[in-house]
Each structure stands twice: as C-alpha cells, then as structure tokens.
C-alpha cells in the first residue's frame, strides 16, 4: 500500500487527506507548523501529526505538498535536505509549475484538485477534476491511478494547460465569489436578507451547466437599458469601490452585446 506523507493541513490538505484515507490510502504523517492543526487532521485519519519538516519520515512513497504556492519551493528544498534520493514529491497548486520541484527531486509531479476547498464545507470528491502531470511517464501513470481512487474525473493536464485553467478558474470562482460578497454587503447595509439572492446565485450557476454563459446573460447592460444603469450608478455613489467595478463590468457587457 502506498505510504503518503501529507505536508500541509490547510483547506486542501484537510480534505485531500481525509479523502485519501477514506479510500484506503495510508496517510502516515500530517505536517503543519501548527501542531494543533496537524493533530486535528491526523487524529481523523490515523496519521502521525508533526510540526517540524525534519520530522517528515524517509519511509513514505509519496510526499504531497499542499502548502501555499509561495511556500512550495522552500518546503521542497528543506525536505530534500534529509529525504533519500529517488523520493516522489507532488504539489497541489493550480498555478505553480511542476518544475519548481525539479531542482530538488528526480520524481516529481502535480496532483491538482480543481475545486474550491474550504474547511467548513465537505466537497463531493467523485466529481472533482483531478489534474495530473509528471514529466516522468511512469510516475504520471501511478499518479493517474491514485487520482482514480478518489475521483471519477481524472485528467492529464500539463503545466501550460494548468496555468490557463487556473486563470479561468479565478474568473469563475474567485471573482464571482467576490461579487457575491458585494451583493451580501449591499443587502447587509440596507438590512435586507441575503437569502433573497440565493436562488438567483444558484440558478446562475445551474444555467451554465446546460447553456453557454454568453447566451444566458440577462440584465440592464445586456438589454441596453441605459436609464436603469444610470439609476444604479447614482445609488452606488455611497459604495465607490463597488461603483467602479460596476462600471467596468457594465462597459464590458455593453460592448460585448453592441458588437452583436
């Protein structure tokens, strides 16, 4: 059985570790600089909690770095100081290239679950696209096999493709979530419940499962209702930041539909 050391107990580490363990993988260690966080996850999956990189065991078959993008290289370098040669290391980032690991390990790759993870919310792993890559084809096959044990949606995606996917993911997830936040803040200021917008948010996401997003666009900019847009801009004077964003997005949608 594959022995895994999980480096990172944040949003991804937490859910990925639990899923791997649920599917019978031996996650033997969980690292976090915060011992409590490491212990909390480790206890759930029968692993050893550790809070020093030097304590990462040499016996694991696979080291999964689920740490912040900016920490990947530093963590890889520190692990390479004491792990024996020939060890396999992957990271879970959508943005960082696999080559970050190349100076430190001969067998390296990517294990990127394309979903938004927050600790509070249980993800449905079966449908999460797992994007796999390794320049070593034998290792890539092993990673594809491991990914298939936790998801039904497994893909070989190279570094360049993954970088593109990540940009698109920022638009559809991070930015739309920020727009949800703006809606929530405006209603909050006016003592209106956010629940009034929730069916709209759900329907927006559901419609694009079936139809192209462009075809599903509605609203004043799509229709060219300029008087309505002026009313909105007048109201938004009390939220200058939101007003600026409203103007940019409205201009884009107007142009999109003016050109046909």
Ligand X SMILES: NC(=O)c1ccc[n+]([C@@H]2O[C@H](COP(=O)([O-])OP(=O)(O)OC[C@H]3O[C@@H](n4cnc5c(N)ncnc54)[C@H](OP(=O)(O)O)[C@@H]3O)[C@@H](O)[C@H]2O)c1
Q: Which stretch binds ligand X (CB under 6 A): 5-13, 19-27, 123-131, 199-207?
A: 5-13
Q: Does 157 bind ligand X (CB under 6 A)?
A: no
Other CB atoms within 10 Å distance of the CB of residue 219: 12
CB of 144 to ligand X, least distance (A): 18
Give me the 220-259 binding string for ligand X, x by CB under 6 A, dash otherwise.
Answer: ----------------------------------------
CB of 16 to ligand X, least distance (A): 9
Q: Taking a C-beta distance cutoff of 8 angstroms, is the pair 67, 78 a contact?
A: no
77 CB burial (10 A radius; 0-12, 13-18, 19+): middle
Q: Does 123 bind ligand X (CB under 6 A)?
A: no
CA neighbours within 13 Å on the CB side: how many for 252? Answer: 8
CB of 198 to ligand X, least distance (A): 21
Other CB atoms within 10 Å distance of the CB of residue 210: 7
Q: Taking a C-beta distance cutoff of 8 angstroms, is the pair 9, 30 a contact?
A: yes
Torsional class of 191: left (φ above 0), alpha (ψ -120 to 50), beta (otherwise): left
Tokens of 254: 């107007």
- Cα distance between residue 78 and residue 56, in whole Å: 10
Give me the 61-100 binding string for ligand X, x by CB under 6 A, dash otherwise.
Answer: -----xxxx-x--xx----------------xxxx-----
DSSP percent split of the chain into helix, strand, coil, nearest 5: 55, 15, 30
CB of 196 to ligand X, least distance (A): 27
* Near ligand X by CB under 6 A: residue from 5, 6, 9, 89: 9
Q: Does 126 bind ligand X (CB under 6 A)?
A: no
Q: Toward ligand X, which CB reaches closer, 25 or 130?
A: 130
* Near ligand X by CB under 6 A: residue from 2, 3, 26, 33: 33
Q: Which stretch binds ligand X (CB under 6 A): 3-11, 79-87, 212-220, 245-253?
A: 3-11
Other CB atoms within 10 Å distance of the CB of residue 102: 12
Q: Does 32 bind ligand X (CB under 6 A)?
A: yes
The two most distant CA atoms of the chain are separated, in Å, by 68
Q: Does 10 bind ligand X (CB under 6 A)?
A: yes
Q: Which helix (H) or strand (E) holds 185?
A: helix 176-189
Residues of this chain that interact with ligand X (CB under 6 A) are 8-13, 32-34, 37, 66-69, 71, 74-75, 92-95, 112-113, 116-117
């Amino acid at each position: 059985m594959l022995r895994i050391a999980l480096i990172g107990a944040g949003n991804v580490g937490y859910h990925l570790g639990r899923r791997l363990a649920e599917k019978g993988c031996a996650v033997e260690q969980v690292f976090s600089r915060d011992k409590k966080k490491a212990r909390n996850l480790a206890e759930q999956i029968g692993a050893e909690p550790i809070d020093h990189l030097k304590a990462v065991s040499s016996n694991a078959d696979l080291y999964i770095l689920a740490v912040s993008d900016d920490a990947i290289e530093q963590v890889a370098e520190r692990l390479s100081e004491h792990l024996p040669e020939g060890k396999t290391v992957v990271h879970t980032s959508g943005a960082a290239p696999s080559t970050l690991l190349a100076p430190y390990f001969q067998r390296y790759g990517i294990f990127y679950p394309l979903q938004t993870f927050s600790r509070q919310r249980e993800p449905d792993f079966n449908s999460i696209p797992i994007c796999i890559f390794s320049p070593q084809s034998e290792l890539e096959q092993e990673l594809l096999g491991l990914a298939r044990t936790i998801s039904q949606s497994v893909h070989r995606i190279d570094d360049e493709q993954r970088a593109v996917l990540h940009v698109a993911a920022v638009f559809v997830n991070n930015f739309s979530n920020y727009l949800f936040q703006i809606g929530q803040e405006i209603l909050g200021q006016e003592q209106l419940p956010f629940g009034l917008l929730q069916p709209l948010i759900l329907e927006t996401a559901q419609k694009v499962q079936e139809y192209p997003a462009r075809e599903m666009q509605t609203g004043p900019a799509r229709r060219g209702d300029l008087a309505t847009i002026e009313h909105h801009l007048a109201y938004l004077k009390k939220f200058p930041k939101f007003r600026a964003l409203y103007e940019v997005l409205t201009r884009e949608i107007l142009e999109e539909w003016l050109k046909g």
